[in-house]
Amino acid sequence: MRSPALQYLLQRLDLEPVAPGVFRDPGGADPLHRLFGGEVAAQALVAMGRTVTPDRPVHSLHTRFIRPGRSGVPIELHVTTVKEGRSFDLRGVELRQDGALVLTATASFQVPEPGPRHPGPTPAAIDPETLPRWEERFGDRRDRLSPLWTRSRPIDLRYVDPPPPLDPTLRDRPRRAQTTLVRADGPLPDDLLLHAAAVVYASDMTLLETALLPLGVVYADGEFDCVSLDHTMWFHRPPRADRWLRYEQGAEVMAGARGLASGRMYDENGELVVTVMQEGLLRPTGGTGSWLAGTAADRTMPEPRR
């Protein structure tokens, strides 16, 4: 059975075609003022994918976030055909609200073809049944998280490592990586594009959180202004989003109040199916919250700017 949050996401991905290459989302009743970046990126992919024949799955997605989207405001998505080839189709899209540009993206789609492969390292198997859902792990402390964190999620998220807000050792022993297990919170239609879109959503949930780990701090309680700047994904083979994916994430670098993090998603057979890179704005707000594992005074952080 699909969770209400997953059903809601599928409704948001069921874009209304209003003209050739133009799609519309009337906007849902989201309690948050700002749209989640993974959601609008997933919508952008679906809009581009609906202009390509279904036999060409996506193999790369490059997304740039221009300004925050507003919940409850209709979205228009304008798709441009950049290339139509025998093997590859390339599409671009602009996502607008009230005429203001919110997001631009390009995606490339390829006819499946045989080719050489080389095996990579296969991570050790993890039994998801031994890990609690994130809602269970945080328990009655969820009310101390920011609304962006506590929103109902269409993805079943399970931390393999201690979640940063609950890790008492993070400040004294910062780390550079974390691993989660993710899958859609219910079955999905047999549509490769929707599976890829759900993976886009899942890939954005904890990646900026990872970028902060080497500082020994967390942003789950709103201590940082965290905004995705760009998000790139390579789909090495079509993923099944309603089956478990092992998501290994690492912090690459932080400079200029920007953090870069990488991610690798492995399927249940240990095959690498998706690689992710994301850069985000991570600007400290200057507060001292209940779950800040380190403080701005302890780290070489600049004064916050608004």
167 is catalytic: no
End-to-end CA distance of the chain: 43
Q: How many Å apart are CA 272 and CA 246, to the nearest integer?
A: 9
25 is catalytic: no
List alpha helices for the chain, DSSP H. Answer: 4-13, 37-49, 134-138, 147-150, 192-203, 207-211
Q: Partners of 275 in the beta sheet?
A: 234, 264
> What is the chain's length?
306
* Token pair for 31: 């309690």
Q: Partners of 268 in the beta sheet?
A: none
pTM of the model: 0.90
pLDDT of residue 292: 38
Catalytic site residue from 185, 204, 249, 262: 204
pLDDT of residue 296: 31
Q: How many Å apart are CA 62 and CA 67, to the nearest integer?
A: 16
List, run by run, the mean pLDDT of 10-residue segments along the chain (306 residues): 93 96 82 79 98 97 95 95 97 97 98 88 90 84 62 89 86 92 97 98 94 81 78 98 98 93 97 97 67 36 32
Q: How far is CA 92 from CA 89, 106, 143, 176, 247, in A?
A: 10, 4, 40, 34, 27
Catalytic site residue from 108, 228, 249, 262: 228
Please name each of the domains of the chain with its CATH number: 4-111+133-284 (2.40.160.210)
Q: How many Å apart are CA 1 and CA 187, to the nearest integer?
A: 7
Q: Which helix (H) or strand (E) element contains residue 64?
A: strand 58-65
Q: Is 4 exposed, middle or buried (0-12, 13-18, 19+ CB in 10 A)?
A: exposed
Q: How far is CA 85 from CA 28, 52, 124, in A?
A: 36, 11, 40
- DSSP helix/strand/coil, 90: strand
11 is catalytic: no
